[in-house]
Amino acid sequence: MTDIARTGRTLNRNARKAAHTAVSNGEMLEAAGSVIAARLQIMAEGMVDPRKADLTEMSLMSTEKVQAMSESAQAVGRTLGDIGGRLNANALDEAGRASRAAAAVAQAATPVAALQAQYAYAVGWWGRAAGQMLTLNTELLKGQAEALRPIHDTAVANARRLKS
């Protein structure tokens, strides 16, 4: 597969992931609105007659948020750790490549050979940088989706439960 085809597939996959995340976010916002409305009604009814207050539902209001946010924070931490490790490995690899390129330039027998070595490194670097950018973009989209998943799942489940 050519680099252009691979890049095209990566861009297409990134676009699909971004679109799916946007749809999921809309669903989450809609669910959150219905959950807030239902819970406000529950709280209002509890204030009118405290004996009939739905204490179970009222306690879920905070514990569910804490649970979902904790899971979201863990997902962000995993994503950032993975990205940091990969970027560190890329930087070490590139330092080695730059060192070898500098040696090739310094050891070149002619000025033309030196320019060819420098050009080969620059073109290679450009391709590696573009590939790393696409990989980073994909990882960030994946991380965003993973961070929002627990919040989305909780909001959607609550909306379904409170609707019935």
Percent of the chain whose predicted confidence (pLDDT) is above 90: 70
Return the minimum-mean-pLDDT range out of 12-16, 88-92, 130-134.
12-16
* Residue 52: per-residue pLDDT: 86
Name which of 12-21, 32-41, 107-116 the model is least confident about. 12-21
- Residue 32's CB is within 10 A of a number of other CB atoms, namely 17
Taking residues 3-7, what's their average pLDDT? Answer: 76
Q: 34 lies in which domain range?
A: 3-163
Put simply, whether the predicted model's pTM sits higher than 0.85 gets the answer no
Question: Structurally, how many domains does the chain consist of?
Answer: 1
Express each pLDDT in 91-114 by its tens digit.
Answer: 999 999 999 999 999 999 999 999
CA 143 – CA 117 distance, rounded (Å) = 38
Q: Compute the distance between CA of residue 21 and CA of residue 24 in angstroms, rounded to an integer.
A: 5
Report which of residues 113 and 61 the model is more confident about.
113
Instruction: Report H helices in the chain.
Output: 3-48, 55-107, 111-163
pLDDT of amino acid 81:
96
Alpha carbon distance 162, 37 (integer Å)? 10
